[in-house]
Amino acid sequence: QVQLQQSGPGLVEPSQTLSLTCAISGDSISRNSVTWNWIRQSPSRGLEWLGRTHYRSKWSSDYAISVRGRIIIKPDTSKNQFSLQLNSVTPEDTAVYYCARTDIVVAFDYWGQGTLVTVSS
Amino acid sequence: DIQMTQSPSSLSASVGDRVTITCQASQDITNYLNWYQQKPGKAPKLLIYDVANLETGIPSRFSGSGSGTDFTFTISSLQPEDFATYYCQQYGSPPYTFGQGTKLEIK
């Protein structure tokens, strides 16, 4: 059974960096058919896909235009986990952040438990 | 970005009712459409992928149909555990976008 366990702070100051980690059990981060995603949810923006990382002979990541330039999603193969870094945060980045997997079809079949991140001083 | 428009935004129904939710894409997404259920304080749960395919373990009272830009999600006979918020999601092209949700409430 695949499980995704999120960790990271729930409070980030404006202009700082939001950092979250998603630890994977029951699957390999490097398996060829899967992608590892970050999605956030807020009352104002709804569910918003932020980006993903995946391995297809080499590692690559791609991001939503709305956060491109501020976001990095990267794998840690030694720990079978991946991370989200979102730079220069503002109160508009306040949301529940989820990690999620896709396998072959781009349907998010496994999700982390969610982390409420509040951007405030 | 492809916009996904769900209707209605909320719906009141009774146990045993048949309910239908629609989702319209701003451009053709062929069959790249999924449906999720979300309960308060929980992550969304995948119910249907590729328009009409039930995820493993999902009851057959849930179904989906459509193609191109117009899609439908149906619960044939509402059960008490079905009262939740439902979302459609497209993957015709990134960024992968979601509908705004339909909150299904008990009448």
pLDDT digits (tens, 9 = 90+) for A67-107: 999 999 999 999 999 999 999 999 999 999 999 999 999 99
pLDDT tens for B52-107 read 999 999 999 999 999 999 999 999 999 999 999 999 999 988 899 999 999 999 88
Cα dihedral B95, B96, B99, B101, rounded to 10, equals: -120
pLDDT at position B107 is 87
Task: Check B32 against A112: CB less than 8 A apart.
Answer: no
Count of Cβ atoms closer than 10 Å to residue B21 Cβ:
23
pLDDT at position B94 is 85
- Of A26, A71, A78, the closest CA to residue A53 belongs to A71
Answer for the pair B32, B90: CB distance below 8 angstroms, yes or no.
yes
Cα dihedral A87, A92, A95, A98, rounded to 10, equals: -40
- Rounded CA-CA distance A19/A87 in Å is 9
Q: Which residues of A touch B50 (CB under 8 A)?
A: 105, 107
User: Which residues are CB-neighbours of A29 under 8 A, at least 6 positions away?
Assistant: A36, A55, A75, A76, A77, A80, A81, A82
With helix as H, strand as E and coil as C, how does A23-72 read? EEECCCCCCCCEEEEEEEEECCCEEEEEEEEEECCCEEEEECCCCCCCEE
Residues 62-91 of A with CB under 8 A from B: 62, 64-66
Of B42, B91, B98, the CB nearest to A47: B98
pLDDT tens for A22-78 read 999 999 999 999 999 999 999 999 999 999 999 999 999 999 999 999 999 999 999
